[in-house]
Amino acid sequence: MKSQQTTQTMKPATAAKKLGVYLEATPAEFQAGVVSRSELNELQTNPPEWLRELRRNGPHPRPVVAAKLGVSISGLARGGVTNPLTTEQIENLLTDRPEWLEKERATQAEVRREATRIKEKDAALGAQTGPSHA
């Protein structure tokens, strides 16, 4: 049996998602090519200036915007935010605190509290019953 190592590659959209950047804001050569696993690791370890700039100022993809605002992606949509936002736009929202943002942040905080409560309850039940033997 002959072992042959193939290079694992991914589409630019996948690489952009893993890097936490908005694909359409990346350089044309990034969008046009494929990215190998080693290239992705290099971008993560030693980001070029364009990547540092995108991470610093945006535009940011919805998952990053949602995380920076402390809401869910669905909460962004309910608030009417469907496009990528720049860091400045995110900071303005955090300063202005529109009603939808306050509501979605409260909702997200409640979801996190409930998830923590369930996790603690499950852990307590697991500790009471001990390991199961099937």
Quick: pLDDT tens for 51-106: 999 999 999 999 999 999 999 999 999 999 999 999 999 999 999 999 999 999 99
List Cβ neighbours of 19 (8 Å cut-off, separation of 6 or more): 40, 43, 44, 51
Residue 58: strand, helix, or coil: coil
Report the pLDDT value the prediction gives residue 22, as an integer from 0 to 100: 94
List Cβ neighbours of 13 (8 Å cut-off, separation of 6 or more): 23
pLDDT band at 3; cut points 50, 70, 90: low
Please name the residue that has the structure tokens 């199961």: 132
Report the pLDDT value the prediction gives residue 17, as an integer from 0 to 100: 93
119 is written with which tokens? 């996790």
40 vs 44: CA distance, rounded Å: 6
Q: What is the pTM of this model?
A: 0.75
Task: Provide mean pLDDT across the span 108-114.
Answer: 90
Instruction: Provide, rounded to the nearest whole percent, the portion of the chain with pLDDT above 90.
Output: 75
Report the pLDDT value the prediction gives residue 127, as an integer from 0 to 100: 76
Smallest Cα–Cα separation from 71: which of 114, 100, 91, 113?
100
Residue 1 has pLDDT above 60, yes or no: no
